[in-house]
Amino acid sequence: MRSVRARAALGATLVVAVALVAAGAAVLLVLRQNLIDQTDLQAEVAAREVASQIALDVPPDRLELPDEEERPVQVVAEDGRVVAVSDQLEAVSGTSSTEVRARPLPPAGDGDDEDDDPARGEVSTDEPGFTSGRATVDGDSADYRFAAVRVTAGDRRTYTVHAGAPLTTEQDAVDTVRDAMLVGLPVLLVVVGSVTWLVTRRALRPVEGIRREMAAITASEDLSRRVPEPASRDEVARLARTTNETLAALEASVERQRRFVADASHELRSPIASLRTQLEVGAAHPGLLDVPGAVEDTVRLQQLAADLLLLARLDAGERPGRTRFDVAEMVRETAAARPGGRVPVEVDAPDGTEAEGSRSQLARVVGNLLDNAQRHAEHLVRLSVGPVRGGGVAVVVEDDGDGVPPGERERIFERFVRLDDARSRDEGGAGLGLAIARDVARRHGGALTVADSPLGGARFELRLPAGRRGAAPHGG
């Protein structure tokens, strides 16, 4: 059963059916017990009326037994002899005797207490006994409840009075209620199943709309479309909103990917075209081959390919290493490994500052920041390392150049963005260094920000969380 509506309707119907069957059985049991209790009370009243006569020394053959055919009475002596019975009682079971003919008792014998005052009889105050049986009264057989009451006559003889009350009323009532339930239960289950089907269908109608729209988006590959959002505030509305948020994020991701591919193609085209031109000229006129220029273009291609590969790895969710290393040592090595530029770099990196992550990736970040600073500085670039308040390490790169305008301080971290477009591409780079630096910083749990420097130019600050004591030392 693949339909949610069908499963919901069937499940609700089954639950209601089980509940109704259990409730119906309980109602029938309670009703039957209440009616049996009423029948027992009627039988007890009839038995005590006869027992009261015996207690008043009315002889068994002169007892006034109930006239109703529905109240059969049987009086049994201690020896099991039936001494009194209703006139129309033809057969009985469930009492202490199955006899339906009365037999007289022998006369009481004379004793030494013949001059004593006759004793007074007494009806037992104990709870009467109740039994179920059948009796045939005037040709009609039926089920009865019998009450047994013990009584002592004035002559000290003890009798047991059995009086019955029919169970016909109880059986008819239980049968009527049971038949009504058997008829009403299927009808009620049909109603429950139908209502559940309709309610579920209406509740899932927005889901079907979402499904159709998602199918259309998949077929058209148009990520700008959105699924309809219901006006309600239920789970379906939240599902629609989450789906639209996912579509928006997917559209933005695809757009970034397309823009990235287009920008990468554009950036690659220039050095490749320049290198091809130099090689073609060299092939035709070997004396005019610009070997240094060809090497420089090849290096630019190599650096751009490395940047693109690192960005692809970052976009794929690659996690940095979890090794602990000395940040100051890494900074000094990175600065010392750089070729001499037109602007010197002052390094202030005391030992004792540790961070955790990929040493090679963070060295790449420092290198990109130094490239950017040397490109824009006039006379000086300063590189410093130190602890920050609250724990962690800060790597600061400052220059005395023109700085970054406040309105452009977030834009410079976008990919392929250069604020120095007036410069040649050879001097300005591809615009990937700062984007890579911020991505790496964030994946290490840190941050990269830019502000004004006391030197007059830009101040880039890389903040990293402190290394854990349990992390593996060094590595990358």
Mean pLDDT value across residues 28-40: 92
Residues 96-135 have pLDDT tens digits of 899 989 888 777 655 444 445 555 678 888 888 999 999 9
CATH fourth-level superfamily of 323-473 = Histidine kinase-like ATPase, C-terminal domain (3.30.565.10)
- Percent of the chain residues topping a pLDDT of 90: 25
Decide: 35 and 170 in contact? Cβ < 8 Å: yes
Mean pLDDT value across residues 166-182: 89
pLDDT at position 424, please?
44
pLDDT at 475 over 70: no
Helix (H) or strand (E) holding 41: helix 4-55
Distance CA 461, CA 455 (A): 14
Residues 439-463 have pLDDT tens digits of 899 988 899 999 999 998 999 999 9
Q: 472 has which bridge partners?
A: 323
Residues 179-210 have pLDDT tens digits of 998 898 899 989 988 988 888 888 888 888 88
pLDDT at position 130, please?
93
Specify burial of residue 434 (Cβ count, 10 A radius: 0-12, 13-18, 19+): buried
Could you give the 3-state DSSP secondary structure of residue 10?
A: helix
Look up the CATH architecture of domain 235-315: Orthogonal Bundle (1.10)
Mean pLDDT value across residues 367-386: 90
Q: Is the dihedral of CA 30, 36, 39, 43 positive or negative?
A: negative
pLDDT at 396 over 90: yes
**What mean pLDDT value characterizes the chain?**
84
Query: Token pair for residue 280?
Result: 């073609």
Residues 404-422 have pLDDT tens digits of 998 888 888 887 776 654 3
pLDDT at position 119, please?
59
Mean pLDDT value across residues 388-394: 85
Give the β-pairing of 323-326 and 345-348.
unpaired
pLDDT at 470 over 60: no
CA distances from 451 to 140, 202, 365 (A): 110, 57, 17
